[in-house]
């Protein structure tokens, strides 16, 4: 069976790279990781110079044409499943999805179907694409909004590095109980697993550094609820939910960190909880530099219907 490749990434050697090794050019000009470099070296047509196979210790000349080819892969362990997808953007290297609440991003133990991955793999098969499911980041099951999915290893590596370096702009919208003081600011509190309940996170002095910036957009009624914008500087599990709980403003509908998670503690509203039936959190904006075009791209997803419904309730002051 013949090997299929993604579209090659082609680089013309510039004068300043004359005499350098292929490895140096790949690392400095394209940011290719050591792991991907090793895979390319073992691939028959992974690295070519002027159309001929080349090794990473060979030297290049100005004007040479260096091509990088990655073998096509597919997620054989993910069952294709037809599913409505809100596709915000797609090209040969990248897919941006506006995820609905209640959808898990990737199959896990006990959840092998009905995930975003099942629907995306089916979508690609319908288009005749052989692609492995590689999400750049994940959202909680009950969080809605934008998810980026890479369609080849190089794009996944590059966007993951942007994410780790804090160069990906991730902005959220949320509805919380109470009012934050001050109305805008930064929560810089370390987060780690709860020693008593490992599935929960909490602010702990020796936890991992976690930074969330926030800005209040609206305060409703007597200040018992607010709409806020949030920007993540780090990406800890449940970070926004934990930080807002720590600030005394848990997310409306949050069953793990909200009022509903603590029997005997008043403050929640049955009407508002019923309006969303999940944490009122939406990944609204996603911005990054496209690894292939090197152009900055930014996407925005409007509030889904359940959060629009919640906002109308808050504006009408219908709390019980």
Show which residues are catalytic.
140
CA 166 to chain CA centroid, nearest Å: 12
Name the DSSP letter for residue 169: E
β-partners of residue 99 are 145
With tokens 């309006």, the residue in question is 275
How many angstroms separate the CA atoms of 86 and 93, rounded? 18
> Taking the chain, what is the end-to-end CA distance rounded to the nearest angstrom?
65
List CB contacts of 254: < 8 A, sequence separation 6 or more: 241, 245, 260, 261, 279, 280, 281
Which tokens is 104 given? 């898990």
Q: Is 128 left (phi over 0), alpha (psi -120 to 50) or beta?
A: left
Q: Which phi and psi (to 5°) does residue 145 adopt?
A: 125, -165
Q: In 3D, which of 131, 129, 306, 128 has the Cα closest to residue 117? A: 131
With tokens 């930074």, the residue in question is 211
How many angstroms separate the CA atoms of 193 and 195, rounded? 6
How many angstroms separate the CA atoms of 99 and 119, rounded? 11
130 to 117, 124, 152, 206, 222: CA distances (angstroms): 14, 7, 10, 44, 54
Q: Is 12 left (phi over 0), alpha (psi -120 to 50) or beta?
A: beta
Which tokens is 231 given? 């920007």
């Amino acid at each position: 069976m013949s090997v299929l490749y993604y579209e090659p990434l082609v680089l013309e050697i510039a004068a300043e790279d004359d005499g350098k090794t292929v490895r140096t050019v790949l690392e400095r000009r394209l940011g290719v990781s050591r792991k991907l470099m090793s895979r390319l070296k073992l691939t028959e047509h992974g690295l070519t110079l002027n159309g001929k196979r080349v090794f990473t210790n060979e030297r290049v000349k100005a004007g040479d044409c260096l091509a990088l080819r990655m073998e096509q892969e597919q997620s054989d362990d993910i069952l294709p499943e037809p599913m409505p997808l809100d596709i915000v953007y797609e090209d040969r290297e990248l897919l941006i999805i506006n995820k609905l609440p209640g959808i898990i991003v990737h199959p896990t133990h006990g959840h092998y179907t009905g995930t975003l991955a099942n629907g995306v793999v089916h979508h690609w098969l319908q288009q005749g694409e052989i692609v492995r499911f590689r999400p750049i980041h994940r959202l909680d099951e009950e969080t809605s909004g934008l998810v980026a999915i890479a369609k080849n290893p190089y794009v996944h590596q590059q966007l993951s590095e942007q994410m780790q370096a804090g160069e990906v702009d991730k902005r959220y919208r949320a509805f919380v109980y109470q009012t934050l003081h001050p109305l805008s600011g930064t929560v810089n509190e370390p987060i780690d697993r709860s020693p008593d309940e490992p599935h929960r996170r909490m602010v702990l002095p020796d936890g991992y550094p976690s930074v969330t910036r926030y800005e209040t957009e609206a305060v409703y009624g007597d200040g018992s609820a607010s709409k806020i914008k949030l920007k993540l500087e780090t990406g800890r599990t449940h970070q926004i939910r934990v930080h807002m709980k720590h600030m005394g403003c848990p997310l409306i509908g949050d069953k793990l960190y909200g009022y509903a998670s603590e029997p005997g503690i008043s403050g929640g509203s049955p009407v508002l909880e019923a309006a969303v039936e999940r944490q009122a959190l939406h990944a609204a904006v996603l911005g990054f530099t496209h690894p292939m075009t090197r152009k900055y791209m930014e996407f925005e997803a409007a509030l889904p219907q359940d959060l629009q419904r919640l906002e109308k309730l808050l504006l009408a002051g219908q709390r019980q």
